[in-house]
Amino acid sequence: MLSDKTKSILRKSPATLFVALSVALFFPPVLHSTGEPSYAEEIRRCVAEDKVYLLQNIRQKVILPAEKLVIDALLSEDGPQAVTLYQKQLTQYPDPVLDQISTSRIAAYSLAKESVMPLPKVTVPEPLPKPHTAQPIQSSSKPPAAISKEKPKQETRASTPLTPEPAKKPFALQCGSFKRRENAEAFAKKISLQTPASVIQQGDFYKVVLKSHYLSNEEAEGAAKKLPFETVVVNGL
C-alpha cells in the first residue's frame, strides 16, 4: 500500500507519473540497460580510426544488445547479414552514438551495391565439325606371320621417391583490417619494420597479417604475447 505522503505527491504531479509510465512502456531497452557498462564510445572510436579489428578484444565483454548487434555487424564478412543486424539495432535498440554507425554503414552498402554493374554475357560460337577424311590403308612389306611374332618393347621408367609434403600451418596473427587498400598497405609497411607482414583481401576488407604461420592456436597466442603491438589469432588465411 502507498503511504499518504506518496499519494499526495502523485495527486499533485500527474505529469511526472505520465512520463514515467511512457518511458516504461515505449523504451524498455533503455530501462533495462541502466547501470550496465557501455562500450559505445570505444566502438565509435574504432570505426572512426578504421581499426574495426580491435573490437574482437571487447566482443565478449559487451552486454548491451545494441552494442552486440553493431559489433557483430562490423566484424561480419557477409554484407546482407551485416545490414540486417544494423537495421535490427536501429529499430529495436536505438542509441544516439550507434545509430550514426548503423545508418552510415547501411548507406555505404547500398551505394556499393548500386555501383556494381553486371557483366554482359558473351556468346561463344560452337566450333564447326571437321570434315571426315578417309585414312589410306598402309601396306606392310612383312608377311603376317612376321608381324605377329614381334612384341612391342615396354619402356621402363625409374621410380622417383615421393617426398612428404610439409605440415600445413593454418594459424596466423592479424594486426589490422581496413576498408581501404591504401590504409592497409601503409599499416603493413609500418609493421614490417619490426616483423614481415602482408595484405590479404577477404570480401570487402583488406587485412594485414604477419607472414609467420603456426600449427596451433596456442602456438600463435604464445607468439602474439611477445609482440609490442596488438594482434588477433585467425585461422584459414
Give the confidence band of 59 by pLDDT, cuts at 50, 70, 90.
Answer: confident
For range 161-171, the mean pLDDT: 70
Where does the chain hold its CATH 3.30.70.1070 domain(s)?
A: 171-235
DSSP H helical ranges for the chain: 4-12, 14-26, 28-32, 40-48, 65-75, 79-92, 96-115, 144-149, 181-191, 217-225
Nearest to 116 by CA among 204, 199, 206: 204
pLDDT for 106-150, tens place per residue? 988 888 877 655 545 555 556 666 655 555 555 555 555 544 555
d(CA 199, CA 213): 14
161 CB contacts (<8 Å, ≥6 apart)? none
Q: What is the pTM of this model?
A: 0.42
**Antiparallel, parallel or unpaired: β 205-214 and 197-202:** antiparallel
pLDDT at 216 over 60: yes
- Identify the CATH assignment for 171-235 out of 3.40.50.1820, 3.90.1640.30, 1.10.4080.10, 3.30.70.1070: 3.30.70.1070
